[in-house]
Amino acid sequence: MEVRIQSIHFDASEQLQAFIQKKVAKLERFYDDIKSVEVSLKVIKPETAINKEAGVKVIVPNGDFYASKICDTFEESVDLSLEALEKQLVKYKEKQRSK
């Protein structure tokens, strides 16, 4: 599984990138055949308290899934996005099984 992290208008720290890699790796527990994951991090203007957006796109054969959340920290927004994707992957896997 390939993980691509894109930080728009800022440089993501090594610590943040390591956090994302670790969290994204857990997605394979929910669906085995993930081709790649694209994470885009963005700071939303104007500078308000809740201005960190993380968009996560999971690419699987025959489709892809996307979740985007805006929170106080990138870690929190990545966490919430991945939770939403876990639900999507589980639902998709159940549909595949029932066919």
Give the global pTM: 0.92
Q: What is the pLDDT of residue 98?
A: 85
Q: What is the pLDDT of residue 47?
A: 74
> Encoding tokens for residue 69?
């959340």
16 vs 33: CA distance, rounded Å: 25
Using an 8 Å Cβ cutoff, are 63 and 40 in contact? no
Using an 8 Å Cβ cutoff, are 92 and 65 in contact? yes
CB atoms near residue 70 (< 10 Å): 17
Q: Give the model confidence (pLDDT) of 4-60 as tens digits.
A: 999 998 999 999 999 999 999 999 999 999 999 999 999 998 777 899 999 999 999
Q: What is the pLDDT of residue 45?
A: 84
**Residue-number span of the structural domain to which 41 is assigned:** 2-98
Domain total of the chain: 1
Q: Which CATH number characterizes residue 46's domain? A: 3.30.160.100
